[in-house]
Amino acid sequence: MQIFGVDIGGSGIKGAPVDLDKGDLAEERFKVLTPHPATPDGVADGVRQVVEHYGWTGPVGLTFPGVVTGGATIRTAANVDKSWIDTDARALFSDRLGGLPVTVVNDADAAGVAEMNFGAGRDRKGTVILLTFGTGIGSAVFVDGVLVPNTELGHLELHGHDAEKRASSKAKEDEELTWEHWAHRVQKYLAHVEMLFSPELFIIGGGVSRKSQKFLHHIEGIQAELVPAQLLNNAGIVGAAMRAANHA
């Protein structure tokens, strides 16, 4: 079974048909740049470009980098335009896609669902936390495989700052940090999250997951097991398609 998944990020909008039996992309993904400012209309146009690239005419699952309630309403917009707040994203995207059935989910929650079903969290019990490091820091918390939605742990305060302003991969790029220096910031952030939740497993996702050998060995003193995401940066696309399949 194939469903289309789209992952909306602060820098790019990427998508592809997903083979839900394998938990992997059925075709090579297509990506367009996220418009700046990332307004609802601008992002919806980007999503339409991605979906139309494949001539897709079935259900579409979309991630959003913020809190999504009721499967539709956007409540936060840290890394996109503030005009997203209170937008009915499901209605917006469905209209822009010519009436196709649309499902919208928090981006890190989507990545987490994919990793728990097909990746590093498969068959893991207890508390598992996936953290995506990109333009911001996304989080997905699972207790015995059940998602606690919209946790947004990237916005925890760390040394007087929003944690993602210090430890996201964007912060690494903006401040031209070495992998080791950045890893020490991530270590402080993980220690803070661990103190609050005591997870058995941290899964490190987002774009940096494919470069885990450059920084994971610099992170010390964390009690939980620490592993890179197995679906790498495709987890959001897969998870979005999974959520859409559940509502199809």
Same domain? 153 vs 186: yes
| β-pair type (137-143, 127-133) | antiparallel
Alpha carbons 107 and 85: distance in angstroms, whole number: 16
Q: What is the CATH number of the domain that holds 196?
A: 3.30.420.40
Domain extent at residue 197:
122-230
What is the total count of domains within the chain?
A: 2
Q: What is the pTM of this model?
A: 0.94
> 224 with 127, same domain?
yes
Beta bridge partners of 13: 8, 32
What are 20-50's pLDDT values in tens digits?
999 999 999 999 999 999 999 999 999 999 9
pLDDT exceeds cutoff 80 at 248: no
Read off the pLDDT of residues 192-234 as tens digits, 9 standing for 90 and up: 999 999 999 999 999 899 999 999 999 999 999 999 999 988 9
Same domain (yes/no): 102, 46 = yes
Q: What pLDDT, on the 0 to 100 scale, is given for residue 190?
A: 98
SS3 content of the chain, % helix, strand, coil (to 5): 40, 25, 35
pLDDT in tens, 140-191: 999 999 999 999 999 999 889 999 999 999 999 999 999 999 999 999 999 9
Report yes or no on 181 lying in a domain: yes
Average model confidence (pLDDT) across the chain:
96
Q: 178 with 224, same domain?
A: yes
Average pLDDT, integer, range 73-80 = 93
Residue 115: inside a domain, yes or no? no
Both tokens of residue 153?
Answer: 């742990």
Radius of gyration of the chain (CA): 17
Q: Is residue 91 part of a domain?
A: yes
Q: Does residue 168 fall inside a structural domain? A: yes
